Each structure stands twice: as structure tokens, then as C-alpha cells.
């Protein structure tokens, strides 16, 4: 009987329109805590404070967020590197086993590891934007201003409030990105979820859409999720070593798809 890793590698080898979907769990091995795991962000922070409305309305909240950012206590920190899981997904794209990655993450680590097609449902912490005129800067440019003494930096063009280019609670997801992710899911023949508790919508809808269209579904997640039953293969283990094993198996199966 073939193992789960063998089966997933076989689906990857056969896939024409494979898709990977990732959540915070793929980045914990890079040292970024997830939200709902045992050491998750919500165990240490009050989720109710982190709304878009609160950010816009309360200068003290903004100052606290900028302080956190310059102290490296936010997703804007620059000392984190992609891990084996990110690298494996970049290799799956290169091999043609997946067309790209749909991610809930905002850390930019997929792109840094070599993935070229990344749909960021929740935006990116690598950029900071003006909420009024839409101008954007690389995060370090604005963080330098905070370090230099601006505790609530404003847009140099229009004076608007600046905020990391991520989607906060109470903010709309980018419609075009969600639509493309939906199209990929409708089209998928292989759908691989990695490191997501699958409790946030629309994220948890994508595997269901793919399943309905006949895709092979696999999930690699440390803990069980409420959707485990719909998956054809479920692996409760760490993303890095598991995805590396899948890629190694794929290489053995299809030597003509060089990685």
C-alpha cells in the first residue's frame, strides 16, 4: 500500500492545473507564530483591538502598532527567512505540479523562496500604503521615519494615514485576487492545503470548490481541521519535512520534470 506522501506525489506528477493553498502554519518553521495554534498570536493579543476601524479612529492604537513594528514585533520584521516548506512549494511550481500558491499569509516568504505566482488574499506586510491616495512604499522606508521620531507617520503627498498593506479585520479582501483564487480552485485537478486551520472565509471555501470539480485534495497540517473529512489524503505533521519528502518523491517519479 502506498503511503500518503507517495499518493500526493503521484497526484502532483499527474497534475496539469495543481494549486497550493497556504496559511500561517507554513511560516511557523521560519519563526513566525501562527494565529490559532498553541503559541498563536491570539493567545497573546486581544483580537478585538486589531480592527481597521480602530486603526483609523485611534491615534494611540496606531502609535502602539508602529512601536511594535520598529521593535520587530510585527509582520514587518525583516529578520525572517523562508523555510524548507516554502522552498518545496517553489519547486512544485517550477516542476509544473502547481500553477502557483494562494496564500493567507502576509509575510512575503513565498516570493522570497522563488514562487513566482502568489495570490495574497490578505495583502502584504512588505509594503506600507496611504489610506487616502493609495501611494505605497517598501516597509523599511516608513519604519526608518518612525525610528527617527515620527510616532504616527503620515503620507508625504497628501497627509493621509499610513498602514501596512495588509487586510485587517473589518477591511474588504481585494476582489480581483479573490476572484482569481476562485478561478484557480474551479479549475484545479490537484489542491494541496498547507498550514491552515481553514476556519476563515473565503479560504475554507476554496478546497470545497476544488473538490466539487473533481480535484484530488491533500492537506498537510499539524492539527486536525473541521474540513479534514473532505480531503483524499490528510497528513498531521510539520510542513517543511513533509513537503520536502513529497518533492523528493516527485523527482523520483518524473525525472523529466527538472526542479
Judged by the rule CB under 6 A, the positions of this chain that interact with ligand NAD are 23-25, 27-29, 32, 34-37, 40-41, 75, 104-107, 122, 195-197, 199-200, 220-223, 238-239
Least Cβ distance, residue 180 to ligand NAD (angstroms)? 17
* Residue 133 binding: pick among Zn ion, ligand NAD, none (C-beta 5-8 Å cut-off by kind): Zn ion
Rounded Cα gap, residues 1 and 137, in angstroms: 53
Alpha carbon 2 to chain centroid, angstroms: 30
Least Cβ distance, residue 131 to Zn ion (angstroms)? 8
* Residue 210 binding: pick among Zn ion, ligand NAD, none (C-beta 5-8 Å cut-off by kind): none
| 122 a catalytic residue | yes
123-130, strands of its sheet edge to edge: 136-138, 123-130, 162-166
Least Cβ distance, residue 85 to ligand NAD (angstroms)? 7
Long-range contacts of 200-208 (CB under 8 A, 24+ apart): 200/104, 202/121, 202/173, 202/178, 203/21, 203/23, 203/104, 203/121, 206/19, 206/21, 206/102, 206/181, 206/182, 207/21, 207/231
Rounded Cα gap, residues 85 and 24, in angstroms: 12
Least Cβ distance, residue 83 to ligand NAD (angstroms)? 8
Q: Which is nearer to ligand NAD, 33 or 160 (CB)?
A: 33
> Do the beta carbons of residue 174 and residue 167 sit within 8 Å?
yes
Binding to Zn ion (CB under 5 A): which residues in 137-156? Answer: 155
132 binding Zn ion? (CB under 5 A): yes
Rounded Cα gap, residues 196 and 232, in angstroms: 16
Q: Which is nearer to Zn ion, 109 or 130 (CB)?
A: 130
Rounded Cα gap, residues 233 and 71, in angstroms: 41
Helix (H, G, I), strand (E, B) or coil at 187: helix
* Residue 196 binding: pick among Zn ion, ligand NAD, none (C-beta 5-8 Å cut-off by kind): ligand NAD
Q: Which three cell numbers stand for residue 28?
A: 511557523
The one-character DSSP state at 169 is B
246 binding Zn ion? (CB under 5 A): no
Pick from 47, 57, 147, 158 the residue near Zn ion by CB under 5 A. Answer: 158
* Residue 155 binding: pick among Zn ion, ligand NAD, none (C-beta 5-8 Å cut-off by kind): Zn ion
Binding site for Zn ion (CB under 5 A): 130, 132-133, 135, 155, 157-158, 160
Active-site annotation, residues: 122
Amino acid at each position: 500500500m502506498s503511503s500518503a506522501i507517495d499518493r500526493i506525489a503521484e497526484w502532483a506528477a499527474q497534475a496539469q492545473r495543481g494549486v497550493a493553498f497556504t496559511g500561517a502554519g507554513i511560516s511557523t518553521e521560519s519563526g513566525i507564530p501562527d494565529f490559532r495554534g498553541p503559541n498563536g498570536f491570539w493567545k497573546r493579543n486581544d483580537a478585538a483591538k486589531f480592527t481597521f476601524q480602530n486603526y483609523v479612529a485611534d491615534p494611540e492604537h496606531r502609535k502602539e502598532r508602529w512601536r511594535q513594528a520598529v521593535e520587530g514585533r510585527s509582520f514587518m520584521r525583516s529578520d525572517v527567512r523562508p523555510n524548507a516548506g516554502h522552498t518545496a512549494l517553489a519547486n512544485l511550481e517550477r516542476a509544473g505540479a502547481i500553477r502557483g500558491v494562494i496564500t493567507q499569509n502576509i509575510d512575503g516568504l513565498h516570493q522570497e523562496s522563488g514562487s513566482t505566482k502568489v495570490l495574497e488574499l490578505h495583502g502584504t506586510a512588505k509594503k506600507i500604503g496611504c489610506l487616502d491616495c493609495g501611494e505605497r512604499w517598501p516597509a523599511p522606508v516608513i519604519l526608518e521615519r518612525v525610528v527617527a521620531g515620527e510616532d504616527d507617520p503620515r503620507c508625504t503627498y497628501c497627509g493621509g494615514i499610513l498602514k501596512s498593506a495588509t487586510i485587517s479585520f473589518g477591511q474588504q479582501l481585494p476582489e480581483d485576487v479573490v476572484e482569481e483564487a476562485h478561478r484557480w480552485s474551479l479549475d484545479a485537478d490537484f489542491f494541496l492545503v498547507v498550514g491552515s486551520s481553514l476556519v476563515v472565509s473565503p479560504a475554507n471555501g476554496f478546497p470545497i470548490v476544488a473538490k466539487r470539480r473533481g480535484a484530488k485534495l491533500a492537506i498537510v497540517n499539524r492539527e486536525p481541521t473541521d474540513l479534514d473529512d473532505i480531503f483524499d489524503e490528510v497528513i498531521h505533521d510539520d510542513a517543511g519535512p513533509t513537503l520536502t519528502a513529497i518533492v523528493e518523491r516527485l523527482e523520483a517519479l518524473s525525472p523529466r520534470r527538472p526542479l
